[in-house]
Structures are given as C-alpha cells and as structure tokens.
Chain A
C-alpha cells in the first residue's frame, strides 16, 4: 500500500509489527494524467499523473515534469528537483532521465 503508514493495512487489517517499510522502484507506467488549470496555491498550469509503480506495484499520483507531452502508457521515472530551495519529486519520461 502507498503511502506508507502505521495505522493498519487497508487490505487485510494487519498492524503493528506485522507492517514494514519497503522501497519501491522509482519508475513505472503512466496510467492517466491531467493538465490542471486551476489551483488555490500551486502555480498553474501543471500536469498531474497517475503512475503504476514497477510492474504490479501501487498506483501513485505525482507531478509530471516539464519537457515531454505525456501519453497514457509512457514509461516514467522519478527524479528529485530543487524548487525554490525545496526538494520535490516529479516523474518524467524514462528516456529523459537516462539521457
């Protein structure tokens, strides 16, 4: 399950010592996305994506970085970017990170 939390497993109810933290690969497949034109605090437009991590991992929502026209099915990879002194995670086309 994602994000990690210690309350209990949303699938089976396991809690306490039965829960552990595991690392996920920082890449996945773009399932869908939207270019957002309205937000109270975050500058617009920005693109939000829904990404399946790994091949059968959790589905996360994250910012998509500038620089490529997103398409459903894209392989994407996470990277950490500096944004006004703060670090944030965004996903970009997998090829872009390799390059």
Chain B
C-alpha cells in the first residue's frame, strides 16, 4: 500500500475559516464562502486557480458543495462531497492531498461546512437494536469511559475537568472559537451535569461554521508564486475504521493504530510533536488519546496535564485552538479546521496562542463508525 511519503510532496498553502458559532439564521453558503475566500486570499490565489474541491459535510444534504461553490464563479472543476461523520472535514483533506500527491491536480481545495440539523445515520437505519441504544448518547458513552478511567488510573473528577480549563483558556484567545471565555475549575465543574461526572463545559458545543484549506504540489507552488516559508507539508495521512480490538475500548485502540500508522509513514516520533489538535469532544477523550498516541504512559495523562505538559508553552501544546470543547465541533468543518490551526501554529502565525518553535503538528479526529483520521504536518524550513 502506498502512502503520501511514496508520492510527490503536498503542502497546505492557504487556510480560512468562518468562526464556529451557535445555531443562527446564517446559511451554510455564507459560512462556506467566507472560509473559502479567506483560504484563497491567504494563499494569494483566486478561485479559477483551483482545480478540484472536496467538501466535507455531514448534515446539509445532497449537492451541498455545488450549491455553495457556484457563487465563487462556475469554473467547471470536479466537486465531491465527503461524508465520514465527525471526520468528514479530515477526510476531505485526505482526498485533496491524495489527488495532488498522485499528480491528478496541482491545486485542490478541501473544506468542511455544516449547520445544526437532525442527524441521520446509517447504523440507525440498519435496524440492529441493542438493549438501550437510544439511551447511550455520545456524552454517555464517554461518561462511562470516564468512570472506567478514573477507576483504573486513580484520576479524580477535578483532574479530568482540568482538560476543559486548559481548552477554554486556549479558546478564549481564538477569534474562530465558539466559546471564547476562560473558565475556572469551579465553573467547569458546576452544573448542569450532563452524564456521569461530565458537566456542560466538559462537552463540545455542536454549532455551525466552516473551514477550508488549499493544498498544492511543488509544481503548483512554483506556478502560483507561493511563499515557501508559509507552506506546510502534509507528511502523513492515515485513515482507519474499526476492527476486532478485543476488550480494549475501540476509540482508544483505533486512535493508537491510526496514529502509529501516521508515525510510520512520516518517520515522526511522538516526542517530536510540538502541536496536536485532538478529538476532545469530551474531556476524558484528550487524556485517553494522548496516552494512546504515546505522549505519556498509560494512566499518566491527567498528571502530565496538571504539570502543564499540554499547555501552550509545554512539551506538546494539545488543542491550542481550544479543541472541540472550546473552539467547537460543527461536524463537517472540524477536521479541516484542525489542519488550519496546525498550519497556523507551524507557520508561527498563532499570536498569543503560539506554541514556541513549533515544527511538527498532528490533527486527529474520530467519528461515528467508528472511524479515525490522523494527519501529521511538518514545517520544512
């Protein structure tokens, strides 16, 4: 099987977002166009320069891409809408990167856009019923994992809530974040309780928004006069789905397998990661995933977080954007938005959220399926 490392190099050269926000009357078209226009301006190119587009989207519906991108001027390029649950935007990035790497195009757009809408999932239509499927919302799934983690690692509810304190602090400085307010530990732990020890501020707010990235080959960068110092290489793209993992929790096992595949593709080791954007829809996830990724030993993430290892300025800045907890999780955009944040960090353009001397970054999403996508990005110069 080939990987990006076997093909011609691919770079992210433009990033753009529409801020993630609470449900409003804004159409998905307005959200999406703002993100794409910002990404084009950031790259210093125009829409006719783009040769293909992948649109990550979970909720809008059929032909969402065409219904939006036509207002940039109909240039006739191929569109494909990409749905992969919460990882839709990550999958759009992967598809665009593979197309450029393979030489089909030199300039491709990957984006994600969604507004708040009813979830219609395939598994729910399969008519395979457990004993209590409708009672196990995602927050309850993760509340049960939290209980188990506390028992096995000895971590306390306060230590778990500190993930949210960090991520709200990061989000407070992110103009694209849905929640831009610092929160104390007391505020994070205050009611309303949602499930188990998880409170409202430890759960992602699902809202609306858009994110876009422009990916290019070196040929495309030459042709369009791209400043190489702001181009960030996609060193690995790994995408996997569930397999038989035995007794281990599948989110954790799948994250470990996918992340280590990305490490192998890129030759990057966990300790080299300066910046990570992880799927922290619920506080417990960040702890479980950074352990699975090898940032620390099993059961030690809560203590490492308390030491400041995952703060901006720490050993690895984890979710400097605010993550899903503070930046938000509008589904389609989230995975693309993570890549945009990692690129901003690796360029050194993240302002007060900047992880010093960031050179290597990772973006990680999981989604219903379960599926998992991991991208590793590297600043070469």
Asked if B134 and A41 sit within 8 Å, CB to CB, the answer is yes
User: Are A89 and B144 in contact, with the CB atoms below 8 A?
Assistant: no
Chain B residues contacting A3 (CB-CB under 8 Å) are 128-131
B-side interface size class:
20 to 34
Query: What's the interface size class on A, roughly?
Result: 20 to 34
A32, A35, A41: which has the most chain B beta carbons within 10 Å?
Answer: A32
Interface residues of A (CB under 8 A from B): 2-3, 5, 7, 11, 31-39, 41-42, 46, 48, 50, 60-63, 72, 89
What would be 10 A-B contacts, judged by CB atoms less than 8 Å apart?
A32-B145, A33-B144, A36-B135, A36-B140, A38-B139, A38-B192, A46-B135, A60-B130, A61-B136, A72-B148
CB contacts (< 8 Å) of B145 on chain A: these are 32
Q: Given the known A-B contacts A7-B126, A39-B135, are A34 and B244 also in contact in the complex, defined by CB atoms under 8 Å?
A: no
Q: Which of B139-193 contact A (CB under 8 A)?
A: 139-140, 143-148, 151, 192-193
* A contacts with B: majority SS: strand
- Contact residues, B273-319 vs A (CB, 8 A): none
Complex: A25 Cα to B194 Cα, angstroms: 32
Q: Is B195 an interface residue (CB 8 A)?
A: yes
B residues lining the A interface (CB < 8 Å)? 126, 128-137, 139-140, 143-148, 151, 192-196, 244
Tell me the minimal C-beta distance from A29 to chain B in angstroms.
12
Q: Are A33 and B147 in contact (CB under 8 A)?
A: yes
Least CB distance, A68 to chain B, in whole angstroms: 16
How far, in whole Å, are A3 and B123 apart by their CA atoms in the complex? Answer: 13
Distance, CA A37 to CA B202, complexed state (A): 14
Neighbour of A11 across the interface among B192, B194, B244, CB < 8 A? B244
Chain A residue with Cβ nearest B148 = A32
Q: Which of A31, A33, A39 lies in contact with B137, CB distance below 8 A?
A: A39
Hey, which chain B residues are within 8 Å of A5, CB to CB?
126, 128
Add 9 more A-B contacts to A41-B134, A42-B135, A89-B131 (CB < 8 A): A36-B143, A37-B192, A38-B137, A39-B137, A48-B135, A60-B130, A62-B132, A63-B135, A72-B148
* Interchain CA distance A91-B148 in the complex, whole Å: 18
**Complex interface: chain B residues within 8 A of A61 (CB):** 130-133, 135-136
